[in-house]
Amino acid sequence: MADLLIFGYGNPGRGDDALGPALLDLLESHLDPDTRQAAGGIECLTDFQLQVEHALDLAGRKLVLFADAHARCDPPYRFERLAPAGAMAYTTHALSPAAVLGVYQRINGVAPPPCFLLGIRGDDFELGAALSQAAQGHLQAALRLVLDLCRHPHPDHWQAYVSNG
């Protein structure tokens, strides 16, 4: 099991909503063996949305990065540290990353590994649309950040990138 989990989620059929999975596609082609080894192994997972079951994917990790499209952050992205959410609605079809952390904590009785969220700015979420030109630029900036994070897989280093405001 890899120490570092990177989870990109979003709907590839909805324009810029594909930014999470698109980041993982780019990342896989840019990661070299030395970076993978420095991180203690890197596993990339994608899905359309987060579900309760994804809490199981956090087990045994030392660090987790969630990546998704964000419609309201300043370009090119927002980077933040996550904390487990206390309450959760059981009727929802999708969960926030904080809710997934909360599920992990409830089922395991311990805090989840350090987790961060990278929200990449998107503008066009229409069904059938391709990634917008602006989103493609934001994706390249996010890739540069994630490559640095992978080269320095430690929460203290990652914390230095947390967006203010």
pLDDT score for 87: 59
Answer whether residue 18 shows pLDDT above 70. yes
Q: pLDDT tens for residues 107-118?
A: 999 999 999 999
pLDDT attached to residue 54: 96
Within 8 A by CB and 6+ apart from 150, the residues are 4, 6, 27, 31, 35, 36, 38, 39, 42
pLDDT per residue as tens digits for the range 27-83: 999 999 988 888 899 999 999 999 999 999 999 999 999 999 999 999 999 999 999
pLDDT-based confidence at 165, cuts 50/70/90? very low
Q: Is the pLDDT of residue 93 over 70?
A: no
